[in-house]
Amino acid sequence: MEENQKEEGKAKPNAKPNIPAGDMDFGTVANDAIAMWKIEPWLTLQYTTQAIAQQKVDLFNTIIGNRRGDGGGRPQYTMALESINKEIDGAIKYIKGYIQEKHGEKGKEVVQSYYPAFGMVKKNDTFIIPGDASNRKIALDLMIAGIQTNQFETRKYGLTYWEDIKVKYDALVLNSRALDGSISDKVGDKNVLKQEIKEVLGSIINVLEGNFPKTYHKQLRKWGFQKEKY
């Protein structure tokens, strides 16, 4: 009995290679792994895609690179934000069209009652996505959830479209705030990004181990998980 307790008390060895903790090494490994994912599209994850993961890795590496400069890049981000905001505002009519198509026979008031679930708020006589950055980020999350709940995922302005918009918008807002000196926002968002990327890397490792039980160590090295480098 005592021997069994001692056995149970022993720490189990970690057979998986460690994902580096340091930001620079983490960013390098993440970039190598996600780049390999593009070359090896057989690997799929249900909760994200290679393109979305790559955008998050690129953003993470931009943040840790401290590329704030002296604010010279601010006009570029301002123009990019204006462009994506215009795109978001223009795409709302298609979502309203999908809702009208699905619920139109129930009347105008019923149709409009669905708008808030897609992040839209009433302004004057119309429904829009809020214009300020913080509320717009929340609204885009609601838009994605609304599309999934109402089975609009496969439409032209469906899940892929809005997920891509969300990632790009978040990146632009984050970099604009960084250039404006919002250090606390920058650090906080970096940590959130790091956790999200870490989950993706862990999932990739699990898939590789499951598909290559005898040779997964070679696969891990191929995908950039080379522990001797960090």
For residue 167, pLDDT beyond 60 = yes
- What was the pLDDT predicted at 6? 44
Rg (CA), the chain: 22
Tell me the whole-structure pTM to 2 decimals. 0.51
Q: Report if residue 222 sits inside a domain.
A: yes
Q: Report if residue 13 sits inside a domain.
A: no
Q: How do residues 180-201 score in pLDDT, each as one tens digit?
A: 664 555 667 788 899 999 999 9
Residues 175 and 189 placed together within one structural domain of the fold: no
**For 72, which DSSP code?**
T
Residues 105 and 198 placed together within one structural domain of the fold: no
DSSP secondary structure string, 123-183? ETTEEE---SHHHHHHHHHHHHHHHHHTT-TTSTTSHHHHHHHHHHHHHHHHHHHHHTT-H
Q: Report if residue 106 sits inside a domain.
A: yes
Residues 205 and 123 placed together within one structural domain of the fold: no
SS3 for 68? coil
Q: How do residues 71-129 score in pLDDT, each as one tens digit?
A: 445 677 788 899 999 999 999 999 999 999 999 898 999 999 999 999 999 998 899 99
CA atoms 219, 223, 226, 227: torsion sign? negative
What range does the domain containing 98 cover? 75-179
